Structures are given as C-alpha cells and as structure tokens.
Structure 1
Amino acid sequence: MAAELTLTVNGEPRRTAPGSSIADLVTNLGLDPKKVAVEHNGEIAPRSTLADVQLGDGDVLEIVHFVGGG
C-alpha cells in the first residue's frame, strides 16, 4: 500500500493518508463537513456520505464551502 495518496483538490495537487474519507480530507483542510459541497470524480457526493466515501489515488475533488455574512 502506498504511503500517501495523490489527489487533485480544487485544481491543486495534494497528498493524504490511505484510508482517508472525504470528511477526513475536508476536516484536514480546516473546513466543516456539514458546510461544504463536494464533487468527487465528476459526481456530487451527498453530504450524508462524506464520512463513508474512501479516497483513492488519483481522485479529483472540487470542494466549495459556505460562508455566512451580511
């Protein structure tokens, strides 16, 4: 098993540990998984499944987070 997975997140290369879920990645980015929308390999990942979806080497993600304000 590889020491790290190579991903593309919002167009930028990134590495993460094998066995990481989308929720793990989002948390490591300093974001709240309850306040993001994630596209995983071209498909929207339902927020309720982010902790269940394991990342794989070469995955491509687009993550959008919501910001409140007035």
Structure 2
Amino acid sequence: MLINGEEKTLQQTTTLDALLTQLGYRTAFVAIELNGNIIKQKDFSSTTITDADKLEIVSFVGGG
C-alpha cells in the first residue's frame, strides 16, 4: 500500500482506526484521504484497509 507516497507492506487487512493507532497518529487530529475519497472521523473504525489501498494522512498541528 501507499501511505503518503511511501510504499508500505500491510501484514493483514485492518481498520483505518487500528492502522492510524499503530502508526502513532492521534485520530482526532488527522484528515484522511483513502483512494481519492475523504473519510470522516466517525467512519475510521468501520473503514477497512488492504494492501492495495492508497492512503494520504494529514496531521493538524497547533502553534502560535
């Protein structure tokens, strides 16, 4: 699969929520595009990810 343009190997099918947690992202602070479609945060736990998917993850960062 592609994650932010980098080739990654997904060992097994998983949910988007589980993958984000595994990668160290806080799900409340990210926007996700999966295969060209924006995924709502409420759907992270029910969205299945496979090794054939293309995922773009954008993190929100505060500052001032």
Question: TM-score when scaled to structure 2?
Answer: 0.89
Partner of 2:53: 59
Q: CA deviation at 1:54?
A: 0.8
Matched, 1:23 2:17: yes
Find the aligned partners of 1:64 and 1:57 in 2 and give their Cα distance. Answer: 20
**What stretches of structure 1 move > 2 A for 4+ residues in a row?**
none
Q: Which runs of 5+ in 2 are unaligned?
A: none
Higher relative contact order (CA 8 A, sep 6+): 2
Report the RMSD for the aligned CA atoms in angstroms: 1.1
**Is the 1:22–1:53 Cα contact (8 Å) retained in structure 2?**
yes
Aligned residues: 64
Greater helix content: 2
Please give the TM-score of this superposition, normalised by the length of structure 1. 0.83
